[in-house]
Chain A
Amino acid sequence: MKPDPSKLRQKAQEEQAAAFEQTHPKRAALQFASAEEAIRYDAGETAVPPQIAQRLNESIAREPKPAVSWWRRWFSRDTRE
């Protein structure tokens, strides 16, 4: 017995639709209970530009070394002698 071509077509369409659903999942609506929740979500999605760390590294490298207090110098001299 030959299968009904219309049923075959329908089955193929259903399979195609299922495959599409898998590769293109429906967008679920995001829901926020409050302003803070929306802000928190937004904050989580916001990436820190990597160049800030780079610039900070350079800026800190240019910073003068912290001064050594007189008593540290004194004790370090004592230990050398």
Chain B
Amino acid sequence: MEEPLLSAGAGERASEASVPPAPRLDWASKEFGAIYDAHAQSIYYLTLRMLGDPTQAEDATHDVFLKAYRKMHQFRGDSGVRTWLYRIAINHCHNLVQTWHHRHMVNNVDNVVWETTSAGANDPLRVLETKELGQRIQKTLDTLTEEYRLLLLLVADEKLSYQDVANLTGQTADAVRGKLHRARKAFAAAFAKFA
């Protein structure tokens, strides 16, 4: 059996276990309501981890679905709805991140360190509380380049193929595989540092 790369203690997320269910959507378009129900979780998670802030992610998810609602008549069905929504979400997050970078002049020089770090990358890692896992994953993703972060988040969605990820990130499926290998190593190395 393959040695696990990352390990974490089991437990419940008390803060999230008590979240009330989403209100039933009574939008004019029932079809759009079904789209929201099917994809909101994935889009919210992507925006959350791309932006690193729950409030910003909430706004971004709202904006993404509102844009989708406005552009529904333009959706040609060349790609799946999920891929289409991801594209809107990625562009939205990218624009927000770019604006923040320009505004705050943030330079994450540590990325260079993570890129080249390999020691301990294959060691099993332990997290005592599952509720800490999200924070730790966020910290880890924050150290990666936007490209690696996005690749890992998209590949983690089992409903997307490598080709879908390639289309979304504007590269070939082979390039995705190659970069993914480096992204995984960078992630594991950074994850170990936040133990």
Is chain B a partner of chain A in the same complex?
A: yes
Measured CB to CB, the closest approach of chain B to A46, in angstroms, equals 5
B interface SS class: helix
- Work out how many contacts link A and B, with CB atoms closer than 8 A: 134
Bound-state CA distance A37–B155 (Å) is 10
Q: Which of B5-29 contact A (CB under 8 A)?
A: 5-11, 13, 16, 19-23, 25-28
Contact assessment for B19 and A35 in the assembled complex, using a CB-CB cutoff below 8 Å = no
Is residue A81 within 8 Å, beta carbon to beta carbon, of the partner chain?
no
B7 near A31 with CB under 8 A, answer yes
**Is B134 close to A, CB under 8 A?**
yes
State which residues 36-66 of A face B: CB under 8 Å. Answer: 36-43, 45-57, 59-60, 63, 66
Q: Tell me if B44 counts as interface (CB < 8 A to partner A).
A: yes
A sample of 15 inter-chain contacts (CB < 8 A) reads: A28-B10, A33-B2, A35-B187, A36-B156, A37-B156, A39-B153, A40-B156, A43-B156, A46-B41, A47-B16, A49-B54, A50-B19, A50-B21, A56-B62, A60-B27
Taking Cβ atoms with an 8 Å cutoff, the residues of B that contact A are 2, 4-11, 13, 16, 19-23, 25-28, 32, 36, 40-42, 44-45, 48-49, 54, 58, 61-62, 65-66, 69-70, 73, 124, 126-127, 130, 133-134, 137, 152-153, 155-158, 183-184, 187-188, 191
